[in-house]
Structure 1
Amino acid sequence: MTLTTGSRTRRRLLLASDRTDRSSDLWAILQCAADVDTTLTSGIPDRPDGRFSGIVVDINLRSPESVLQVRSKLCAEVYRSMPRLFVLADALHHESMQAWALGATDTISRPLDAQVVLQRVRAAFPDDNDSGAAANANVLNRGIAAAHAVLVKIFENLPAGVPLSFSDVMEAEQEILMAIKLSSLRDWLATVGRHHTHTYRHCLFVTGFAAAFAQQLGMREEDQRRLARAALLHDVGKAFIPVAILDKPGKLDNEEKNEIRRHARLGYEALLRQGGFPSEMLDVVLHHHEMLDGSGYPDGLRGDQISDIVRLTTIVDIHAALVEKRAYRLPFTHAKSFATMEEMGGKIDQHLLQAFRPVALGC
């Protein structure tokens, strides 16, 4: 919902807080970009009646009472499609997890940086003056939809014997690269995180990180395409792993881990039989779990036996896995994930990892 004053259109936001005095600094910042109605969480209207373009939630996410009040309101059908920006008191896992569980569109953290807040507000709640932002959002959605369509062909059609072609992947790659270029990796991850789960989410995360990494490295457009398409297909072998194992809500036992490890070779063999896929893509599918010290699988490759495109994919694959929500652990922050990979030492290419730093820490 936007308000029109003369020829100017302005967004209108609802700021919900469990302590309005604590939210006064946020209210002052939001006023620079929107007309803001403030309410206690207990007073969130049952029916917003199209008055607001979005809701900003500033509560103690460790308070069961505040969380329950917000959940009871925002789970209603009238709020389901409304974008929602949550304010975190800190960057701890619990706060972030609770916000996403409440359907966060995006999050910001205290201490508040006015410029960052306004940037995120304009991205989350575009108004009629933000035609560029709206257009970029459409590009983002098209990119994710194109990638998702490939994943449907992989995980639903391939096991049923419906072939996957290289052209299927090529049709998606340009949409993916354009989405990352014109929106942002943060927007890609936030949108994927809201609408996709489990294996689909992981593949889309890896694809987003790979596209952003390729652009950060200044790769030629064709090389960007090569990395994006390889990332999109890297886990194709999981189409042949039982869903009960892929979606198990807990840690895998040793037998299940061995079954999961089969996905690299299963995917490679499926694409090889299909034919038409470049050798470097087959290399990524088969070897993205190899480690430079020889401790990876399935072939125990080491050092120069591992190609550059595999090394790149391995880095984004590991980072994506660490920052994702999993049933058996909280997600790592991007900073913690990056530090964890630094501690892996000679297992992964540390020079490439440092080149990945701006991508990983810029989310």
Structure 2
Amino acid sequence: MTTLTTGSSARRRLLLASDRSDRSGDLGAILQRVGDVDTTLTSEIPDTPAGRFAGIVVDINLRSAESVLRVRDKLCAEAYRSVPRLFVLADALHHGSMQAWALGATDTISRPFDAQAILQRIRSAFPGDDGRDAAASTKALNRGIAAAHAVLVKIFERLPAGVPLAFSDVLEAEREILRAIKRSSLRDWLAAVGRHHDHSYRHCLFVTGFAAAFAQRLGMREDDQRRLTRAALLHDVGKAFIPVAILDKPGKLSNEEKNEIRRHPRLGYEALLQQGGFPPEMLDVVLHHHELLDGSGYPDGLRGDQISDIVRLTTIVDIHAALIEQRAYRLPFTHAKSFAMMEEMSDKLDQHLLQAFRPVALGC
């Protein structure tokens, strides 16, 4: 085992377990910036880490059954149960990501490495002991929610009054939102939103938080994370054109009111299309986030391959957010109950993506 020391300023002790000795050196150098790093082969992961490490970073070939079993034997032991673990993905392929979450990943990072992004992940997943990280996380969280809220104000208060919403309005917000989720946590995001927002704002902020966390859990490239986050933030833009009396009605909606609500995807799509400048995938999400794979959704009754991946992702986080929210006519469902209900939706949702969402949904 090799110990890389950063000196007395180190706030963490990290374990880097690797079966890629020829490729993990660059990662070790990045990790040194935030703590002391012990490196080891996966075959030599210590049996009793408790109290010794703030977290473990695992860099293995996730397609190797031997490597996976070796790590699983260690990390599934009781001694590692509470130790955060960050996995390195060699690429963005679905198999590697799913294998990492099956091994209990707290978070994932991907090659090629972005040093600043990795440091943010480490600070979030493996907190230091001097309180400075907590203050930084709180600041990032507040800035992220404020940025998202500012976009929602433009949507729900200014757009109906004829003030255009520009794509540039969303770009800065998405950066702050992703930074907030990385530096704090989805749980913190949901708690803060729940304390300070209600009705349509709360739902949009919940969906946005879940989408950002889901994208990060899947190990998406930064650009793809931003695409999903911005789409989630604007998915309900059409509700700006639905009467507030219907949106905030303290009870169940009548059939006529339900039909009015069902107009919001088309209204939002047409508004953004008319203004121009919004990417096609964002327009796709705005128009189709209520479509279901069996063709029973709206407004176009799409089915199967007619529904894009980014829409499938947004639909999952949209439904989960709606189920865990408190409504005037029912108490909120727990995260576990919501996820079980979505599993029962069977061929209406992409079940492979839903299972990938499990650690996000149940980790709250």
User: The TM-score by the shorter chain falls in which range?
Assistant: 0.5 to 0.7
Q: Deviations 1:78-97 (Å, cap 9, x if unpaired)?
A: xxxxxxxxxxxxxxxxxxxx
1:140 equivalent in structure 2: 141
SS class of match (2:278): coil
1:160 is displaced (CA, Å) by: 0.3
Aligned partners of 2:133 and 2:231: how far apart in 1? 30
Kept in 1, the 8 Å contact 2:293–2:307? The answer is yes
Aligned partners of 1:180 and 1:257: how far apart in 2? 33
2:166 equivalent in structure 1: 165
1:187 is displaced (CA, Å) by: 0.0
Q: Deviations 1:32-82 (Å, cap 9, x if unpaired)?
A: xxxxxxxxxxxxxxxxxxxxxxxxxxxxxxxxxxxxxxxxxxxxxxxxxxx
Paired residue type of 1:230? A
2:79 equivalent in structure 1: none
1:182 equivalent in structure 2: 183
1:275 equivalent in structure 2: 276
Aligned partners of 1:280 and 1:182: how far apart in 2? 27
1:178 is displaced (CA, Å) by: 0.5
Paired residue type of 2:263? R
**TM-score normalized by the length of structure 1:** 0.65
1:215 equivalent in structure 2: 216
SS class of match (2:170): helix
Aligned partners of 2:183 and 2:235: how far apart in 1? 24
Kept in 1, the 8 Å contact 2:292–2:302? The answer is yes
Aligned partners of 2:344 and 2:226: how far apart in 1? 30
1:339 equivalent in structure 2: 340
1:286 equivalent in structure 2: 287
Aligned partners of 1:191 and 1:325: how far apart in 2? 15
Q: Deviations 1:222-244 (Å, cap 9, x if unpaired)?
A: 00000000000000000000000
Which consecutive unaligned segments of at least 5 residues does structure 1 have? Answer: 1-114, 117-122
1:185 is displaced (CA, Å) by: 0.1
Aligned partners of 1:180 and 1:333: how far apart in 2? 21
1:61 equivalent in structure 2: none
1:171 is displaced (CA, Å) by: 1.2
Q: Deviations 1:89-135 (Å, cap 9, x if unpaired)?
A: xxxxxxxxxxxxxxxxxxxxxxxxxx89xxxxxx9xx9x94111011
Kept in 1, the 8 Å contact 2:136–2:183? The answer is no
* Backbone CA RMSD of aligned residues: 1.7
How many residues align? The count is 241
What are the residue-to-residue correspondences of 1:71-90 with 2, within 5 Å?
Answer: none
Aligned partners of 1:129 and 1:213: how far apart in 2? 29
2:330 equivalent in structure 1: 329
Aligned partners of 2:360 and 2:289: how far apart in 1? 20
SS class of match (2:293): coil
1:177 is displaced (CA, Å) by: 0.2
1:202 equivalent in structure 2: 203
Paired residue type of 2:358? R
Kept in 1, the 8 Å contact 2:316–2:354? The answer is yes
Aligned partners of 1:227 and 1:129: how far apart in 2? 34
1:296 equivalent in structure 2: 297
2:306 equivalent in structure 1: 305
**TM-score normalized by the length of structure 2:** 0.65
Paired residue type of 1:324? E
Q: Does 1:131 align with 2:132?
A: yes
Which consecutive unaligned segments of at least 5 residues does structure 2 have? Answer: 1-81, 84-123
1:225 equivalent in structure 2: 226
Identity %: 86
Aligned partners of 1:356 and 1:131: how far apart in 2? 31
2:55 equivalent in structure 1: none
Aligned partners of 1:218 and 1:224: how far apart in 2? 9
